[in-house]
Structure 1
């Protein structure tokens, strides 16, 4: 195999590599990027928020009247983990939420507890539900002494839950409230920097208007069979109401909330959250009479740092597959195509020179022989001139005659 053929084979190989790199860049941009913009399957995190509020003293339930404490320290904790089904298309999040008074110990400090499960589309972050698959469930409340396995109550979910979609847009999204058991709008309000990360801020109102005024509270959706915590009848003295202390007074439990989310628009991760929630009893929903718990909590600094770090990791992963690698492959592919084309041109000229060394010097002579107009040849290569040989004198001159 001569040198020209080897050059041609190398040129074809480099051209093929360049074309493959360009195709790979196109696939990464159009196909692979869409496949990686999905909710991760390894979520296992704890979100903590703290603040203050007005809350019932649980110990007073067995005393002469209920006691309401003000400005008590409260902490909200959410434990997120992944359960089945979880596959290429969907992910199921199980979220245990508690609200506790930190100035009380054990059960005396627990104000609210709920375990919510929801199956989400990994691409859109929307709940997956239909007539036969509700897309979620909540655990039925049980006492501390209850040793039986928890029982799930099917609960149809819709909208977003616990996160926003990749490539979050500046628009209104439906966001599910498991306490109200329905979705409410989360409205885009603007951009805000959170620990160096540009986020979108969304606000959701449940029973409140945009100014924080109670306008349409919801009756609490009890999880007990007899709705024992939804409607309560007690003596007026227990409620702390004036009049006949023994008069039975029936009150209904109501609920309202306001939430603000700071969302990383690339990954949809909620990096910070603020929640104002009000659980109270009243005879008229717009006139709260007895506070169960009314609080405002905000994500702790540690939680914000962890969520920002998680969002950055997702950003880096998306950027690697949708921007860094496509750009790198495109640049390398173009360089390979140019190099292959130049090498191919060189191989054609070399092969032509080998086939016909006598072709016009302007075309092929410069590769394998000296051009005719390059000047005098070196002495060793110059043509030797043949000088005529001197013939022998067959008749020498006899000279002058003797005298």
Structure 2
């Protein structure tokens, strides 16, 4: 057990250090993707040109009931744009398909006489009248790469009509390929232009970086995208025709056009055009859109701008919709919280978690090294440890095989050298003395221990030596 705990410290120490190295590359890459639980609800209302939200009627819309009247009418209005974006199938580890349902409704209007009216809209499936508050409704679907948030081309459609029970989605939708961002930018946003997709005109347009600001305590980049004038009648509906309301033919008197060569009953055909200026505020680390503002214009004008056309018709312009939509404060606060949460997760995985694990791992390794060196010093000071083979205790002695032997009680035989006498004691202490003799043989000069047996005097074979060792 004494060796188990240091080994455990080393194991966890190196494991924590390894995790600290791998987490920034492995875990961060898993977090830096479009989440499959994405759910964004944004509310925007029309405000005055200077951003004043207290203006009750900051927008202008075409009075649809005037289409059957002798003359066109416009209404001052307050509009609300609502959008909800969620993830649907097909989605996977690398792809996220976003479905975004958007409605624009008229909350209240004021006519030329100053009369104010609050509008409501019919439930799904019920007939709608010209006084219905629903101005437009679409469902946009696009699949994006989860790492880059860029459309991957798998799904790209806009649904313009309600899907009847048992119907085919393709029959009420139009394929609209795109390349730009819409509901979220990519991660690590730079101060450079990006493509941004506009649903109304179905076009990708550059969104240019214009500056930094702070919203709800979160630093954001502001991008501005100019959507050029687009003839909306050239954008087909699911049946391949011009969408309803994008082509309008009425007498010149209905349009209010007068002038040389123009009769009140002359039919005049106008196309509906759209353009916009969009401001997008993006948190740069996560690509979360915190706020948005759109200056929307849709208007009727003649597609023929040739000099042969009467000037009154060529220069005529009638707004069907004009207003500045600004995200509600509640939406901005909600998006700021989401961005701050995502940014906190990324910072935890990229910096704080590796730092904490690295410090803990280093401390565990230092503790292991301290225990290891301490044991080595203790072993050197105390000698061999109890695990040494030299600590073996042999039988008959408590000190082991290498202990000092006990004195023997048996007689000792002394073998003499040239200068000594060999004494062989007997059991009764009798001793036989064997005298030394001179040796003139060839062994002269050889040390007595070189040839020890030659130092014993030979005995005649007839004599019986009195061998004390044989006495019993």
Q: In which range does the TM-score fall when normalised by the shorter chain? A: 0.7 to 0.9
Equivalent position to 2:45, from 47, 50, 65: 50
Match of 1:235 in 2: 251
- In the alignment, structure 1 residue 116 sits paired with structure 2 residue 140: yes
Q: Paired residue for 2:66?
A: 60
- Report which stretch shifted further, 151-160 or 48-57: 151-160
The residue aligned with 1:141 is 161
| SS, match of residue 162 in structure 1 | coil
Counterparts of 1:351-362 in structure 2, within 5 Å, are 351-356=379-384
Higher alpha-carbon Rg: 2
1:234 Cα deviation after fit: 1.8
Contact 1:127 1:161 in 2 (8 A): no
Distance in 2, Cα, partners of 1:233 & 1:147: 34
**Root mean square deviation of aligned Cα:** 2.1
Find the partner of 1:219 among 231, 236, 240.
231
Alpha-carbon deviation of 1:100?
1.8
Summarize the Cα distance change of 1:350–1:7 in structure 2 as closer, same or farther, 3 Å threshold: farther
> Partner of 1:175 in structure 2?
196
**1:102-134 CA distances to partner (integer Å, 9 max, x unpaired)?**
1132152222322111111111110011xxx3x
Q: CA–CA distance in 1 between the matches of 2:184 and 2:246? A: 29
Asked if residue 265 in structure 1 is aligned to residue 275 in structure 2, the reply is: no
Higher relative contact order (CA 8 A, sep 6+): 1
Q: Which sits farther off after the overlay, 56-65 or 114-123?
A: 56-65
Range with bigger deviation, 270-279 or 55-64: 55-64
SS of residue in 2 equivalent to 1:60: helix
Residue in 2 aligned with 1:247? 266
Contact 2:39 2:84 in 1 (8 A): yes
Q: Aligned runs of 1:242-321 on 2, under 5 Å?
A: 242=258, 243-284=262-303, 289-321=317-349
Following superposition, the deviation at residue 19 of structure 1 comes to 1.1
Select between 318-327 and 149-158 the one with higher mean Cα deviation: 149-158
**Matches of 2:316 and 2:143, distance apart in 1:** 35
Aligned mate of 1:36, from 31, 34, 45:
31
C-alpha separation in 2, matches of 1:267 and 1:193 = 15
User: 8 Å contact 1:172–1:186 — kept in the other structure?
Assistant: yes
Q: Deviations over 1:311-336 (max 9, x none)?
A: 11211222222222111111111111
Distance in 2 (CA, whole Å) between partners of 1:293 and 1:258 is 14
Distance 2:256 2:162 in 1: 28
Alpha-carbon separation, structure 2, partners of 1:155 and 1:254: 18
TM-score, normalised via structure 1 length: 0.78
Partner of residue 158 from structure 1, selected from 153, 164, 179: 179
1:27 is aligned to 22
Native 8 Å contact 2:161 2:173 kept in 1:
no
Cα distance, 1:353 vs structure 2: 4.0
Residue pair 2:137, 2:160 contacting (<8 A) in 1 also: no
How many residues get paired? 336
1:266, distance to aligned residue in structure 2 (A)? 1.7
What is the aligned partner in structure 1 of residue 461 from structure 2?
none
Residues in 1 aligned to 2:64 and 2:292: alpha-carbon distance in whole angstroms: 27
Aligned partner of 2:214 in structure 1 is 193
Residue 8 of structure 1 contacts residue 348 of structure 1 at CA under 8 Å; is this kept in 2? Answer: no
Cα distance in 2 for residues equivalent to 1:163 and 1:321: 22
Runs of 4+ that moved beyond 6 A: none
- Write the distance in 2 (CA, Å) between the matches of 1:27 and 1:288: 65
SS in 1 for 2:291: strand
> What 5-or-longer segments of structure 2 have no aligned partner?
47-57, 109-118, 122-127, 306-313, 386-472
Aligned counterparts of 2:257 and 2:205: Cα–Cα separation in 1: 34
Distance 2:4 2:375 in 1: 9
Distance 2:245 2:166 in 1: 21
2:45 is paired with a residue of what secondary structure?
A: strand
